[in-house]
Amino acid sequence: MRLARFSTVRLRRYAVSVDKNEARDYWNERYGRGCLFGVEPNVVLVEHCSKVAPGRALDLGCGQGRNAVWLALQGHQVTAVDQSDVAIGQARELAARAGVEIETVTEDVAGWDVPDGEFDLVVLAYVQLPSDQRTAVHATARRGLARGGTLFLVAHHRDNLEHGVGGPPTPEVLFDEEELAADFAGLQILRNEKVLRPAERDGVSGNAIDVLFVARRPAAPEDEND
């Protein structure tokens, strides 16, 4: 019982409580402090999505909009979803400053009713959730992916907890290649591996250990194994 209570406290600290209002309030407070992760897009996203043809793009858990705005600048028609109304407001402002338009949705990404097969590119960047919520979000991402569409995911790898720099110190929200392969079974996996990213936390510099997952939904139904 003591361990369970301690785990719940840690989970709430990192906004992964099962109470959605608590999680929203936590992120609203954090995003209210200013620009948390800068305005430049994630470097791994840029590396792997620069050559994706412009189309309909979905950024699930978009935060303050840095990746969504970059996608719009590449010519994508972007829908950006996040539970934090503060972050969504900041994403709109960032888009306006960049001279692009994005569609924004203030909604819990685990429970959002995604339009089926609507998006040519689905992005999940550091959406770190406990396993039940993670699988729900990943199911949302898969439902939204059009046939022939690309799914891009980057997140803190489970190994980052002991061997990497930065990231959540909460094991419940970390995952690895095996779990991703199971979550997205049936997609054509193009990349599913650890990648290192230079990082600094509390004056300590080194490499963060991320997991990179890139997959494509088969264009033909018979090629997709659910």
Digit-coded pLDDT (tens) for 59-95: 999 999 999 999 999 999 999 999 999 999 999 999 9
Residue with more model confidence, 17 or 173: 173
Q: Is 218's pLDDT higher than 50?
A: yes
Which tokens sit at 214?
């890139």
Confirm whether 8 is domain-assigned: no
Confirm whether 65 is domain-assigned: yes
Contacting residues for 44 by C-beta, under 8 A, at least 6 apart? 154, 195, 197, 210, 212
One-letter amino acid of 73: L
CATH of the domain at 49: 3.40.50.150
Query: Residues of 22-59 as b/e, b for ≥16 C-beta within 10 angstroms?
Result: ebbebbeeebeeeeeeeeebbebbeebbeebeebbbbb
Contacting residues for 196 by C-beta, under 8 A, at least 6 apart? 207, 208, 209, 210
The β-bridge partners of 150 are 121, 216
- The pTM for the full model equals 0.86
Q: Residue 40 — very low, low, confident or very high, per pLDDT cuts 50/70/90?
A: confident
Confirm whether 143 is domain-assigned: yes
In which domain, by residue range, is 52 found?
37-223
Among candidates 202, 224, 210, which has minimal Cα distance to 164? Answer: 210
Among candidates 168, 215, 171, which has minimal Cα distance to 191? Answer: 215
Q: Residue 11 — very low, low, confident or very high, per pLDDT cuts 50/70/90?
A: very low
Q: Residue 9 — very low, low, confident or very high, per pLDDT cuts 50/70/90?
A: very low
CB atoms within 10 A of CB 174: 22
Confirm whether 13 is domain-assigned: no
Confirm whether 21 is domain-assigned: no
Residue with more model confidence, 169 or 1: 169
Q: Which H or E run includes 215?
A: strand 204-216
Looking at the 3D structure of the chain, how many domains does it have?
A: 1
Confirm whether 167 is domain-assigned: yes
One-letter amino acid of 212: L
pLDDT at 4: 32
Q: Is 208's pLDDT higher than 70?
A: yes
Confirm whether 110 is domain-assigned: yes
Confirm whether 25 is domain-assigned: no
